[in-house]
Amino acid sequence: MSRPVFALVVLLVIVVVFTAMWLSWRARARRDAQVQGAQIAPSGEMLASFPHVLYVSTTPEGEPLTRVAAPGLRYRGWAQIDVRADGVTVSVTGEEPVHLTVDQLRGSGSARVRVGKAVERDGLSLLRWASDGRVLESSFRFDDAAQHQEFTAAIDAVCGTGGGSDVTHTTQEDAR
């Protein structure tokens, strides 16, 4: 095979792979379009605000390596989280804010592995919430342990779980 033919074959393979990736992401976005927060932002008493948090991903509960492409939570990036007495608002840079009411919230937790990130044990904070009949876990990486604990306490206060987070490990690696 000559060099120009080989180069053309390699280029064709690259185009096919990128096209398949693009089509699969569009299909995932269509599949998860029904996953939505509330239409109205929570306006109750501010319990905690975290202006600079790394948003990692949103996954179905118990499936830490399956990304959910929910509107407003599709892409990893810096986020602001506002925890209020009547809900939570997550604003990822470049995306529309996602508002979650108390009825949607299911609690907090921590994990080590999520699609797009692996850290030390309990290094990721989880926000559990429900939409479209599914329980989801949005994961965040805080700058320090004090913010992680403040986030957990605020979510527990909103959900009424009584101050202790329900730390469940959803992967075999987390259970160690």
For residue 7, CA distances in Å to 13, 20, 131 come to 10, 20, 47
Tell me the pTM: 0.80
CA 24 to CA 34: how far, in whole Å? Answer: 17
Residue burial 55-71, b: 16+ Cβ < 10 Å; e: rest: bbbbbbbeebeebbbbe
pLDDT tens, per residue, the chain with 176 residues: 899 999 999 999 999 999 999 999 899 888 888 888 888 889 989 999 999 999 999 999 989 988 998 899 999 999 999 999 999 999 999 999 999 999 999 999 999 998 878 888 888 999 999 988 889 999 999 988 899 999 999 999 998 875 444 444 444 444 44
Q: What is the DSSP letter of 144?
A: S
